[in-house]
Amino acid sequence: MESRQEAFYTPERPSTGGRKAGRPIELKTNHFALSLKNATIIHLNDLRITPDPGRANRQARDALVSQVKTQIAEVLGIYMLSGAIVYSTKKLTDACILAATLNEVEYKITLVHTKSFDPMSSIDHADAFQGKQFLSILLKTYLKTIKLTAIGRNQQYFDFERKVSFNHLGLELIPGFHTAVRSLQDGLFLNLDVNFKVLRQDTLLGVFSKYNYKKHLIENEIVGTSCLAAYGNNRVYRIDAILWDKTPKETFDWNGKKTSLLDYYRKTYNIKIRDPSQPLVLSIKKIRRENREEEFLLIPELLQMTGITDAERADFRIMREFS
């Protein structure tokens, strides 16, 4: 039997001919060094609300925090909020307790300092992760101030003011960027990639009308595809099923009250649903770390299909126009 050494051959590195240095060449990359103009220590604080309105009820949490934002600034100086974490330039010495009221319920908002860190720490420093997270949130905040729209959860931002419309194709091309803050040996860098999003000008409800509400044709066209919810945080959803027996008149429990989807969109987004009899679509999100699924009922007239079909991708005339 052959020995392991005989059975596997590993090529050796080529000889350098005795040379210890090669010819230097200039390379360019899409990684840009990050630095803070006024380098400072950042303080991390926990924000706790009692009674807890629930992490899922973001609207209630935002409304409560909005009531005390001036008081938070007085205590923390310049601050940045991300969920239940508050980053600040001023260190909180003692726990700060603030009061707010929503829907005749009194809430207690508590700020507690948890740690301080240097956001520009090197990759092997204990603060490196916190610095990377802080700069990612800071970048996200800045991109919103220059009117870039976040789509999806993969740090993709698009400039809708510079969209290119192809009306004869019923498509729109939205330019944007994919961003990521990375810890490398020489410090923190911004990785920036050019990105584009293709949106169909028609809504999902338009697809229903196009196929004259023939179920099998519609399901073949849209089930398994992705759609953009053109409201709120512009989230992208995968369409898993069409619920032909449900409409926007469907009710659910919202803040302890039975509310229809019609009323929810009117009160939350100031959107009036034009067709209250349209079927709903179902999107299922798998939350792997909690080993569970979350279901979303969506309204077709508020959804835009994304991407292009295989037939469009194979059409060289369409692809030439995009280029």
Residue 248 pLDDT level (bands cut at 50, 70, 90): very high
Report residue 42's pLDDT band, with 50, 70 and 90 as the boundaries: confident
Single-letter code of the amino acid located at 23:
R
Cα-Cα-Cα-Cα torsion 123, 126, 127, 129, nearest 10 degrees, comes to 60
Residue 57 has a pLDDT of 66
pLDDT tens digits along 293-318:
888 899 999 998 888 777 777 888 88
Please say whether the beta carbons of 143 and 157 come within 8 A: yes
Q: What is the DSSP letter of 145?
A: H
Q: How far apart are alpha carbons 309 and 24 in whole angstroms? A: 46
pTM score, two decimals?
0.66
DSSP assignment of 59-96 equals HHHHHHHHHTHHHHHHHHSSEEEETTEEEESS---S-E
Mean pLDDT of 265-288: 89
24: which 2 tokens?
């230097």
| pLDDT per position as a tens digit, 75-128 | 888 888 887 888 988 888 888 888 888 888 889 989 999 988 888 765 556 667
Q: Which residues contact 31 (CB under 8 A, 6 or more apart)?
A: 182, 184, 189, 190, 191, 192
What integer pLDDT is reported at residue 303 of this predicted model? 93
pLDDT digits (tens, 9 = 90+) for 137-163: 888 888 888 888 887 667 788 988 898
For residue 245, the 8-state DSSP code is T
Residues 6+ apart with CB under 8 A from 198: 171, 172, 173, 174, 306, 307, 308
